[in-house]
Structure 1
Amino acid sequence: MSFRIRAFALGAALALLPALTTHAAPKAPPHSARTLTLSQALSRAVAANPGLAAADREIAAAGGRRLQAGVFPNPELSFELDSAFGSKARRGLKAAETTLQISQLFELGGKRDARLAVAAAEIDAARWDRAATRLQVLAETTEAFAKALGAQSRVAELEDQVADLDRLTPLLQKRVEAGASSGAEIARGRVATETARVELAKARAAFQAARRELSVLIGDRTPSFAAVGGDLKRIGAPPSFDGLMARARRTPQLTRFTAVRAQRRALLAQAQAKAVPDITVGAGWRHYREDRSNAAMASLSVPLPLFDRNDGGVIEAGETLAKTEAERAAAERALTVMVGAAYEGLRGAYDEARLTRANVIPIAREAYAEVRSGYAEGRYSLLELLEARAALSDASLKEIDALVSFHASLASLEGLTGTALVLSRRDQ
């Protein structure tokens, strides 16, 4: 289990770390001590997550229950004073009989072994629960990192748009001075630039929100990093759905039912063992004060199981064991739905990002270059120029949204399957 979890963390990190590819990555702040990478985020999230800390405590508590389950009942020491403080010949302590006895309860029916089996199964179940929690933490952190990286990329794209529109101002001024355009075009250009600045401000606020969300997951009250570092454009074709489901069936979400079944089977054995009465054996020494004589004594007590044979407890434990398969089937059905939704989201985002990158953006870039050069020559209007620039920016932002959706779905799938997904890289 630990190997699968480490493999998932490594795979997710490689998916977003800078890649040795030929295409240009989105502009981002240079790596520094204040630039957070995915591998750093995952390590810090695992170390800081309170759910994992609670799971560790639960495992330790289960270990304590196992230790306690193995102990034998304590012996019982008793003292009795008889025939004392009576009347006539038994006045005071003249005829007193004193008895000192030690007794020991002996459990029958395999009660101790049943307790040990229950406790051992509880440890296994707690460990599987921790493994499932760890996968969830890794998936949530990776998804939050992808969102932060996408928000950062949106900021970079809108900064490019604003800078590009700012560079149009001198060109607009020249056309007005040459009489090729009216002064109103400068106002239109400023409106477009200021509108882009508003979108940039919104994108920066969204990045700060994503940054704070990621900070909480890695254990920071306030963000300790200024930027996130990774390659959002690294994508690949998803594997087959059947292969993903085969992996998902081996994750802690389902394999934990093996420990649950063992635990409930042990609880049934424990309930059945309660029907077997225990015996208490005692041995002691009695002193007769009247004639100063002594005598040994022994005792044996066994409860008679006439009314309580723990029939209700046996029925309860048996039904609880029987419902394990139904619970597992329900969990597998829910897992299938989640894997299917994440898979379709991954495939849809992959197609959208790939087609936008291969078809839409190159055409929009070529159209904008043509309109920009033609505007300087008077062949296109300012409205056409602004529309071409907006179309290029919209295409780039759509690609970013698709890439964020891709990596979020990928993180979800890796969390559900417990392994790093090997994606085809031919489409990068």
Structure 2
Amino acid sequence: MTRFHEIVAGAARRGVLLLLALAPTVCTADSALDLRTALRLARDAELQSALDAASLAAVEADRRSASAHPNPVISYGRLRPGRASTMFDGSRQQDVAIEQPLLLGGQRRARMEAAERAVDAARARVAVSRMTRAADAALAFVSLQAAQSRQAAATVGLNRLEDIVASASMNPAAHPYAEQRLAFERADWRAALSAADAELAAARQRLADMLDITDWRTLVVVPLNPLDLVAANGERSGERSDHLALHAARLEETAAEAAGRAARAERFPQVSLGLIRSWTSEPYGIADGVSVSVELPLFDRRDGAVDRADALAAGARLQRQLLEAEIDLDARRNQIEVAMRSDALAAFDAEVGPRLQALLRLAGDAYRNDSAGPADLIDALRAQQRATLRRIELEEGLLRAQIRLLLARSELPSLLD
């Protein structure tokens, strides 16, 4: 058996194994990044976490402002009369007044409640933001897994093609067409490998940016492999009430309703209580008094603020109702997609794998019997490559659908547990 025959026989034996174990040729479990770790890194990304903290700090500052009492106002006046006399017929009169605005009609309580509900809603928004970042990173992680597998497939295929070219060059009776065909295939395969390298570099950069990883060139992920949803979810049913986005929408609605109650409380007329002291000189005299000032709501009854708060509350309620419908639709749609893609992958493994192995074996037998040439072996290698890329595509599509399903069910954080 020639060296070329040995190569073909080995390719036939390894045909199906290549479909199932490409990624381990480029990474190991100890050094590769897994999905669980990627989700944690994305959730705790420094810049995004700082942005979340800043937005939450602003709302908490509003809560402190809402609980504060209004500041008193002090005023001072001095007058020197002309013809008219001052109090006690003095030559000069001075007045000092301290005025304290009063929050009546439950204004302070309503403000504090609205601010507290706003903080709850802000915290829920931060949780949704972290989950969204994790979902984006998960999809980018899958893209890197697929790019890594495609690059590995192109590398393995090119190495096998180089072996075929080297073996064919040792045949002095090789036809010129066969030589040109081999040269063309090698150049075409190298171009495909260059494209796979570029795709892999772009996928690494994108995921590294999401995870705050400085050296993206060293980023390697575990092999592409669909999730076991039952194990990942802990057999959870994905109740809609547990959905983070829906929980945040309910808190937004509650905060809007509390803001409406605060706007109504603000319609109460402003009332201030004052203490006054007046004294004169030449002769000296002193007098104390009390004043009460009440706003007259003749021109502005603050109806605009109430109407605006009511409109925002209605919008928050509609947004929550719309989100409930969208969550149900997304969950059903993604569940159907996951089932169909799982069936497609199972059918591929059942139908294509055995036929591919038989194709490679027959190609090797035909060459050994001198009934096939290098072009036939290249066609078999091309078929193997197409099948490999097809399975990568099926796995990538299934894993993406599974991640979208976990996101629709708000079960993506369960992968972090």
Name the TM tier (shorter chain).
0.7 to 0.9
Q: How does 1:8-407 map to 2 (within 5 A)?
A: 24=21, 26-31=23-28, 35-48=32-45, 50-82=47-79, 84-87=80-83, 95-173=91-169, 176-177=171-172, 179=173, 181-220=174-213, 222-223=215-216, 225-236=217-228, 246-248=238-240, 250-407=242-399
Could you tell me which amino acid in structure 2 is paired with residue 216 of structure 1?
Answer: D
Distance 2:386 2:36 in 1: 31
Could you tell me which runs of 5 or more consecutive residues in structure 2 were left unpaired when the two chains were aligned: 1-19
Other structure's SS at 1:283 match? strand
Other structure's SS at 1:102 match? strand
Q: Following TM superposition, by how much is the alpha carbon of 1:186 offset from its aligned partner in structure 2, in angstroms? A: 2.6
Distance 1:46 1:323 in 2: 29
Q: 1:125-177 deviations in whole A, cap 9, x for unaligned?
A: 11111111111111111111111111111111111111212222344245x43
Distance 2:150 2:335 in 1: 25
- Does the C-alpha gap of structure 1 residues 325 and 60 become closer, same or farther in structure 2, counting only changes over 3 Å? same
- Structure with greater helix share of residues: 2
Could you tell me which amino acid in structure 2 is paired with residue 135 of structure 1?
Answer: M
Q: Following TM superposition, by how much is the alpha carbon of 1:198 offset from its aligned partner in structure 2, in angstroms? A: 1.4
Other structure's SS at 2:275 match? strand
Distance 2:73 2:280 in 1: 23
Distance 1:79 1:33 in 2: 77
Q: 1:281-301 deviations in whole A, cap 9, x for unaligned?
A: 111321122431212111111
The answer on whether the counterparts of 1:281 and 1:300 sit within 8 Å (CA) in structure 2 is: yes
Q: Following TM superposition, by how much is the alpha carbon of 1:308 offset from its aligned partner in structure 2, in angstroms? A: 2.8
Q: Following TM superposition, by how much is the alpha carbon of 1:414 offset from its aligned partner in structure 2, in angstroms? A: 2.1
The answer on whether the counterparts of 2:331 and 2:405 sit within 8 Å (CA) in structure 1 is: yes
TM-score (norm 2): 0.84
Could you tell me which amino acid in structure 2 is paired with residue 386 of structure 1?
Answer: I
Q: Following TM superposition, by how much is the alpha carbon of 1:357 offset from its aligned partner in structure 2, in angstroms? A: 2.2
Distance 1:80 1:197 in 2: 92
The answer on whether the counterparts of 1:144 and 1:213 sit within 8 Å (CA) in structure 2 is: yes
The answer on whether the counterparts of 1:342 and 1:409 sit within 8 Å (CA) in structure 2 is: yes
Distance 2:360 2:413 in 1: 38
- Does the C-alpha gap of structure 1 residues 101 and 328 become closer, same or farther in structure 2, counting only changes over 3 Å? same
Other structure's SS at 2:297 match? coil
- Does the C-alpha gap of structure 1 residues 207 and 260 become closer, same or farther in structure 2, counting only changes over 3 Å? same
Distance 1:341 1:77 in 2: 66
Q: 1:28-72 deviations in whole A, cap 9, x for unaligned?
A: 434499743333333332232534322211111111110111010
Could you tell me which amino acid in structure 2 is paired with residue 133 of structure 1?
Answer: S
The answer on whether the counterparts of 1:149 and 1:232 sit within 8 Å (CA) in structure 2 is: yes
Other structure's SS at 1:101 match? strand
TM-score (norm 1): 0.82
- More off after superposition, 413-422 vs 396-405: 413-422
Q: Following TM superposition, by how much is the alpha carbon of 1:95 offset from its aligned partner in structure 2, in angstroms? A: 2.2
Counterpart in the other structure of 1:17: none
Counterpart in the other structure of 2:3: none
Distance 1:130 1:258 in 2: 14
